[in-house]
Copies of this chain bind each other. A is one copy, B any other.
Amino acid sequence: MQAKKNTGKTGKRPPSAGGELAFTMPPPNLCNGTALRKATRRVSQLYDAILAPCGLRSTQRSILMQIARQKSPTMGDLAAAMVLDRSALAHNLKPLERDGLVAVVADVEDKRSRLVTLTKRGEAKLAESMSLWRDAQARFEKAFGAEKAEALRRTLSVVASEDFAEAFAKAARKS
């Protein structure tokens, strides 16, 4: 960091942030990542509050639901479907295992793999959460519009896809 720019009007100011920054401040709300994270925090909070009575958070519920869909996926398949890091998935499964909602068993086909399954309790808990989830969904669509919600989900699924990740990676930076 070099000496401060002499713009001619720099006076003595509090220990920082008073003067001009070393870059042009972009307009607000321009970062796609920040916009996504803010919306996600808001919605997770709203959904979690509705789901609370069943003792599942939205993250946990989405994992149980995905296991139900894929029947008995490997850790890797499940992680890929959730766009979730493998180790993150492993950590997320721990509380669910501890509470007896999921079980992880070795795969006899490929001993490197482990298969994740719902237990009876897991199925029951997922079933129990359905009406709460439907309530949250209904509220979202009422507040935001069902059509717009569907369009948003489609858009988000593009952004979450591996195709998008590859396009992002290939996107040459300015030549």
Show the binding face of A for B, using Cβ within 8 Å: 1-2, 4-6, 14-18, 21-23, 25, 28-47, 58-59, 62, 65, 67-69, 71-72, 74, 77, 82-84, 103, 105, 107, 109-110, 115, 117-124, 126-127, 130, 133, 135-140, 142-144, 148-149, 152-153, 155-161, 164-165, 167-174
Contact = CB atoms under 8 A, between A and B. Distances in A.
A17 B138 contact: no
Contact of A62 (B18, B33, B103): B33
Given A1-B120, A1-B124, 17 more contacts: A5-B109, A15-B120, A16-B123, A17-B122, A17-B123, A21-B68, A23-B126, A29-B157, A32-B43, A33-B47, A34-B65, A40-B40, A41-B84, A42-B160, A46-B165, A135-B173, A155-B155
A68 B173 contact: no
A171 B141 CA distance: 9
A127 B14 contact: no
B14 A72 contact: yes
Contacts of A33: 40, 43-44, 47, 58, 62, 136
Contacts of A156: 35-36, 38-39
Given A14-B115, A33-B43, A160-B38, A25 B68 contact: yes
Contacts of A23: 126-127, 130
Contact of A69 (B14, B25, B136): B25
A59 B40 CA distance: 13
14 contacts: A1-B120, A14-B103, A15-B117, A16-B117, A17-B118, A23-B130, A29-B153, A30-B137, A31-B62, A31-B133, A33-B44, A43-B159, A45-B165, A142-B167
